[in-house]
Amino acid sequence: MAPRIAIIKYGVGNIYSMVSGLRRAGGEPHIVGCIRDPGEWDGIVLPGVGAFEAATARLHECSTEIREALRMGAQLLGVCLGLQLLLNDSREEGFHSYGLSMLPGTVTKLVAPKLPHIGWSPIRRIDGRSCSLLDGIEDGERFYFVHSYALAETRSPWICALSTYGFTEFAAVIEQPPLYATQFHPERSGKAGLRVLTNWVSMLRR
């Protein structure tokens, strides 16, 4: 039986490309506004491109259910904005907004001549850190990014891969089970992106 995956819709894009990617990866994705039965899900996805403040306003309404699902054994995948929402807070557009605080960190604006960062960029693993999402993927593989903000901090042990845009080095992959996240969009990153999704879905079957 395919793992049941809740894709939480909080008013941002890329929902349907994520649905397609997770199906190809072997999952059974469902779009939900909030989790009603925490024990029903094997995986939870926080997707999308969008504004941190607007997303947190919606997401805080079901944060208790998300935490309960994780306590009951679900795994969470945050993508792009979804990665940022796992952190303490953001300084986006001059606003100080609070995330889910599942991991410590502050989202800040990239320092670069041109924003947003849109396009393909390589990522590199941090030596000695587990990075199950990247199993079978060569170091330096390129993935598709769309963002102006990121976690520009590299020392935390749960950051397992980095990328650089302009003058900013930032977290590209986070892994602190049951929390997994990518700043890039695996659902838009071709064969390598599908491998990332497949790696995550395979964890839901264990």
Q: Is 60 a catalytic residue?
A: no
66: nearest Cα among 33, 25, 27: 33
Q: For the CA atoms of 49, 160, 72, 37, what is the dihedral angle to 10 degrees? A: 10
The tokens describing 179, both together, are: 């929390």
List the catalytic residue out of 65, 141, 147, 185. Answer: 185
Residue count (the chain): 206
Q: Is 93 a catalytic residue?
A: no
List the catalytic residue out of 62, 80, 131, 160. Answer: 80
**What are the distances in angstroms from CA 83 to CA 39, 46, 93, 138, 178?**
23, 8, 18, 22, 13
Q: Is 153 a catalytic residue?
A: no
List the catalytic residue out of 65, 92, 175, 187. Answer: 187
> What distance in Å separates the CA atoms of residue 11 and residue 149, rounded to the nearest whole number?
18
- Active-site positions read 80, 185, 187
